């Protein structure tokens, strides 16, 4: 009887440990599953548009920067991000204004040169064609910044006329320099958008992986809870069996005492 009680105590201890472990596993797995169910899918990143870099590029493509570049000075030309707001660009009008500024500069800086407006417009359009601008946003970026730069150029025409011809600013070199800066900006935008898209795809893959793990953890929580309930059931049954044995032993002892009496 004593040995049986020892075995019964060991069994109860094992079942209690199993029940505790199952309960902890059920709580932890259930918490992870609920957290996964409450997680929201990542939103696609907002694509950076060329208009958002228009103001920064305008500040970067100035005649002072052009002079420094021509002198092979190393300067940072990238400005802070700023959004560009305004009405939509009229393509033809913008090209005409740019060409007019360039012609005014040539006429005042290189007298007695007489510029040909059609040739100037063709040069501007030819550079645009070489850049292979995609969409209205890139077109607005190019024309808006070039119009600002050409206006600066037109204003300094009389000053340039006082300099030796070899030291005067060549408008064709300005156009090429500006096109190079626009191309760099667009390449940087493409790289940044590609990086944002890559980060988004990684987050999307992590979210899908988390959702697949949620089902696994939910199953683990269900199995652990079932084990816990079964362990409690075993403890109850063991307690009932022990009480029945105690009652039977007491009844047998009482019967023997009555027989002796």
Q: Which of 126, 128, 174, 167 is nearest to 148 (CA)?
A: 174
Helices 63-70, 135-155: crossing angle, 10 deg rounding: 80
Percent of the chain with pLDDT over 90: 10
pLDDT over threshold 70, residue 209: yes
Which of 80-94, 135-149, 162-176 has the lowest average pLDDT? 80-94
Task: Say if residue 83's pLDDT is above 60.
Answer: no
Mutual orientation of helices 171-260 and 63-70 as an angle, nearest 10°? 100
CA distance 66 to 50: 22
Sequence-distant (6+) residues with CB within 8 A of 149 are: 61, 62, 63, 174, 178
Closest among 145, 129, 49, 48 to 89, alpha carbons compared:
145
Domain ranges of the chain: 2-43+218-260, 50-202
Integer angstrom CA distances of residue 179 from 143, 149, 236? 10, 12, 84
Low-confidence winner among 44-58, 88-102, 149-163, 203-217 (lowest mean pLDDT): 44-58
Least confident range from 89-98, 138-147, 165-174, 190-199: namely: 89-98
SS (H, E, C) 177-230: HHHHHHHHHHHHHHHHHHHHHHHHHHHHHHHHHHHHHHHHHHHHHHHHHHHHHH
Burial class (CB in 10 A: 0-12, 13-18, 19+), 185: buried
Backbone dihedral angles phi then psi of residue 47, each to the nearest 5 degrees: -70, 135
pLDDT at 128 over 80: yes
In the prediction, which pLDDT does 82 show? 36
Instruction: Tell me the average pLDDT of the chain.
Output: 80
- The rounded distance, in Å, linking the Cα atoms of 109 and 165 is 9
Confidence at residue 108, expressed as pLDDT on a 0 to 100 scale: 92
Let me know: does 168 contact 135? Beta carbons within 8 Å.
Answer: no
Is there a contact between 140 and 50 (Cβ–Cβ < 8 Å)?
yes
pLDDT value at position 2? 65
Q: Determine the average pLDDT of the residues in 51-77.
A: 60
Q: How sure is the predictor about 67, in pLDDT bands with cuts at 50, 70 and 90?
A: low
Higher pLDDT, 93 or 80: 93
pTM over 0.85: no
Q: Nearest-CA neighbor of 110 among 157, 65, 70?
A: 157
Residues in the chain: 261
Q: What share of the chain is helix, strand, coil (3-state, %, to 5)?
A: 80, 0, 20
Q: State the Cα–Cα distance between residues 90 and 92, nearest whole angstrom.
A: 6
What is the rounded CA–CA span in Å between residue 35 and residue 214?
8
CB atoms within 10 A of CB 247: 10
pLDDT at residue 97 above 70? yes
Give residue 84's pLDDT band: very low, low, confident or very high (50, 70, 90): very low
Task: Quote the tokens at residue 7.
Answer: 């075995």
């Amino acid at each position: 009887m004593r040995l049986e009680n020892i075995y019964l105590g060991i069994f109860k201890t094992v079942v209690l440990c199993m029940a505790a472990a199952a309960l902890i596993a059920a709580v932890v797995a259930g918490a992870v599953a609920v957290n996964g169910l409450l997680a929201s899918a990542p939103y696609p990143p907002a694509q950076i548009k060329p208009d958002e870099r228009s103001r920064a590029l305008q500040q970067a493509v100035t005649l002072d920067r052009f002079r420094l570049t021509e002198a092979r000075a190393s300067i940072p030309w990238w400005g802070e991000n700023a959004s560009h707001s305004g009405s939509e660009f009229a393509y033809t009008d913008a090209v005409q204004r740019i060409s007019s500024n360039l012609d005014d500069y040539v006429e005042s800086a290189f007298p007695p040169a007489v510029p040909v407006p059609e040739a100037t417009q063709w040069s501007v359009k030819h550079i645009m064609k070489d850049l292979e601008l995609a969409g209205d946003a890139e077109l607005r970026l190019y024309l808006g910044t070039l119009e600002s730069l050409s206006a600066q150029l037109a204003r300094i025409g009389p000053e340039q006329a006082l300099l030796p011809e070899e030291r005067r600013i060549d408008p064709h070199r300005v156009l090429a320099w500006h096109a190079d800066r626009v191309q760099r900006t667009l390449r940087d935008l493409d790289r940044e958008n590609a990086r944002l898209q890559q980060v988004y795809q990684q987050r999307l893959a992590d979210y899908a992986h988390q959702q697949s793990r949620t089902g696994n953890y939910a199953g683990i929580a269900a199995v652990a809870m079932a084990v816990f309930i079964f362990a409690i059931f075993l403890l109850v049954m063991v307690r009932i069996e022990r009480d029945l044995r105690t009652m039977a032993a007491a009844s047998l002892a009482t019967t023997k005492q009555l027989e002796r009496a």
